[in-house]
């Protein structure tokens, strides 16, 4: 079990001697569908860009972590082999939609503990087409119809509508917001704005979720070079990188159990991760300038507002209606366009969010720029449950 005392590493050192972690370089392969490109080629592109952006000698990192859920064994090795930069430890990390976030936690943690100086962390995926099939479910569960992922999203959406005053119009508005942001993201798969009417007219998949309220699993990769450093010279710091799993009891948690208790106060994995990240970074929700959060479906973004503590429980619809989370609001969420615009290559999601946030904090986000952004939060959550929250500062 990891230590629970803030700032204390497994060797019992105090917070004062935990090494700070900064981002030395970023790289990204656009998200979309790329016939004829292997996941290795997609990963190689992002890693090459990150190493070049960091300006380091190509073998000047001591370890590599690769977040992926569907790329098979030795996925990270194939990428680094192609680049001729193997020799150090190469670890593949699977944590569902939070695979990339989990990889970042391990990479940052290793540097903070003084184990390595420079670490490559990347995420990549080439999702199979159609409804995602997951080895999480036993064959009999698939046969029984228990493996319909959009159905679980729909049940959570319905509960949110019941408990937080969310309506189908709010769900449509999240899509409109994120798709409008995606117009300005050349690396996103969907770059055309949509109207609420169009969203509500799209095919009903699982009531209340229409097709355009659901993101598209697709292909892509992103990479960071992390190194020991406290952010001098304008570098972005990784102020926190937390990963948490679920607590038992919530029937609709991402643990996807077959039953749960009547305890409605079980904190979600996302909440556990957010609390840990805020404590590690020494900031709170009101210090955030920009957020990239999980929007696998429109309701999931609104649920994240509450679970991350961006608003009080029950106030997600209110926060959206206030305009707080749109561009120009006091806390823009998903300026990149979110997964709803980018699509979701699982292992690459969190790394893609961090590339966006790094650009935001460095003032390099162009038409997507959130003015004066200095503190950003990246959130992904996947079946397991695995919830990742990373906080960047500059």
Partner 1 sequence: MPDATAIHEGLFTTEADGAPRLIGGRCQSCGRHQFPRSSLCPHCGADDVAEALLSSQGTLWAWTAVTAAPPGYRGEVPYGFGVVELPEGLRVLARLTQGDPTKLRFGQEVRLQLVPLHADDEGRDVLTWAFA
Task: Out of 2, 4, 192, 262, point to the residue binding partner 1 (CB under 8 A).
Answer: 262
Residue 258 binds partner 1 (CB under 8 A): yes
Residue 245 or 362 with smaller CB distance to partner 1: 245
User: What whole-number distance in Å separates Cα of residue 119 and Cα of residue 217?
Assistant: 28
CB distance 338 to 183 below 8 Å: no
On whether the CB atoms of residues 82 and 44 are closer than 8 A, the answer is: yes
Q: Determine which residue in the list 197, 207, 230, 364 makes contact with partner 1, applying CB under 8 A.
A: 207
Rule CB under 8 A: say whether 131 interacts with partner 1: yes
Q: Pick from 15, 133, 284, 323: which binds partner 1 (CB under 8 A)? A: 133
Choosing from 97, 206, 215, 311, the catalytic residue is 97
Residue 360: φ, ψ to 5° = -60, -50
Q: What tokens does 6 get?
A: 């803030």
CA 50 to each of CA 8, 58, 224, 270, 281: distance values in angstroms, whole numbers, following the listed order = 30, 10, 6, 28, 24
Give the count of alpha carbons within 13 A of 161, CB side only. 17
- 201 interacts with partner 1 by CB under 8 A: no
Establish if 167 lies at the interface with partner 1 (CB under 8 A). Answer: no
146 binds partner 1 (CB under 8 A): yes
124 in contact with partner 1 (CB under 8 A): no
253 in contact with partner 1 (CB under 8 A): no
When asked if residue 62 is in the footprint of partner 1 (CB under 8 A), the reply is no
* Rounded Cα distance, 199 and 210, in Å: 7
- Residue 134's alpha-carbon distances to 70, 141, 312, 355, 383, in angstroms, are 9, 11, 33, 27, 10
- Interface segment toward partner 1; rule CB under 8 A; list 12-20, 61-69, 155-163, 292-300: 155-163
Size of the residue set binding partner 1 (CB under 8 A): 38
- CA of residue 272 relative to chain centroid, distance: 15
Which one of 29-37, 134-142, 222-230, 296-304 is the stretch in contact with partner 1 (CB under 8 A)?
134-142
Selected from 14, 58, 74, 142, the binder of partner 1 by CB under 8 A is: 142
Residue 97 bears catalytic tag: yes
Query: Counting every residue, how long is the chain?
Result: 394
Residue 8 token pair? 């204390």
Name the residues annotated as catalytic: 97
Residues that bind partner 1 (CB under 8 A): 130-131, 133, 137-151, 154-155, 158-159, 162, 204-208, 248-249, 251-252, 257-262
């Amino acid at each position: 079990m990891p230590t629970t005392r803030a700032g204390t590493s497994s060797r019992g050192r105090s917070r004062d001697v935990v090494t700070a972690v900064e981002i030395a370089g970023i790289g990204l392969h656009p998200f979309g569908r790329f016939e004829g490109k292997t996941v290795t080629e997609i990963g190689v592109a992002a890693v090459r860009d990150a190493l070049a952006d960091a300006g380091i000698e190509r073998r000047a990192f001591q370890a590599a972590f690769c977040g992926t859920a569907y790329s098979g064994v030795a996925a990270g090795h194939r990428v680094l082999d192609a680049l001729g930069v193997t020799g150090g430890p190469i670890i593949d990390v699977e944590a569902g939609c939070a695979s990339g976030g989990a990889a970042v936690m391990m990479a940052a943690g290793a540097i903070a503990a003084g184990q390595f100086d420079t670490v490559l962390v990347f995420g990549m995926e080439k999702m199979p087409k159609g409804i995602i099939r997951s080895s999480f479910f036993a064959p009999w569960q698939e046969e029984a119809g228990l493996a319909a992922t959009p159905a679980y999203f729909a049940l959570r959406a319905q509960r949110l509508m019941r408990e937080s005053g969310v309506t189908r119009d709010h769900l449509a508005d999240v899509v409109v917001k994120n798709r409008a942001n995606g117009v300005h993201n050349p690396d996103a798969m969907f770059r055309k704005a949509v109207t609420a009417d169009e969203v509500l007219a799209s095919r009903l998949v699982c009531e209340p979720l229409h097709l355009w309220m659901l993101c598209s699993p697709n292909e892509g990769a992103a990479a960071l070079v992390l190194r020991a450093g406290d952010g001098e010279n304008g570098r972005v710091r990784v102020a926190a990188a937390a990963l948490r799993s679920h607590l038992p009891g919530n029937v609709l948690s991402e643990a996807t159990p077959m039953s749960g208790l009547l305890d409605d106060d079980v904190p979600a994995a996302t909440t556990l991760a957010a609390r840990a990240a805020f404590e590690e970074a020494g900031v709170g929700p009101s210090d955030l300038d920009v957020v990239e959060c999980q929007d696998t479906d429109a309701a999931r973004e609104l649920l994240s507002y509450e679970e991350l503590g961006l608003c009080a429980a029950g106030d997600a619809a209110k926060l959206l209606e206030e305009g707080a989370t749109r561009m120009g609001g006091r806390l823009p969420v998903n300026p990149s366009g979110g997964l709803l615009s980018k699509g979701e290559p699982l292992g690459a999601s969190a790394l893609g969010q961090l590339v966006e946030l790094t650009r935001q904090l460095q003032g390099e986000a162009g038409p997507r720029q959130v003015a004066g952004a200095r503190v950003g939060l990246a959130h992904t959550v996947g079946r397991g449950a695995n919830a990742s929250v990373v906080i960047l500062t500059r």
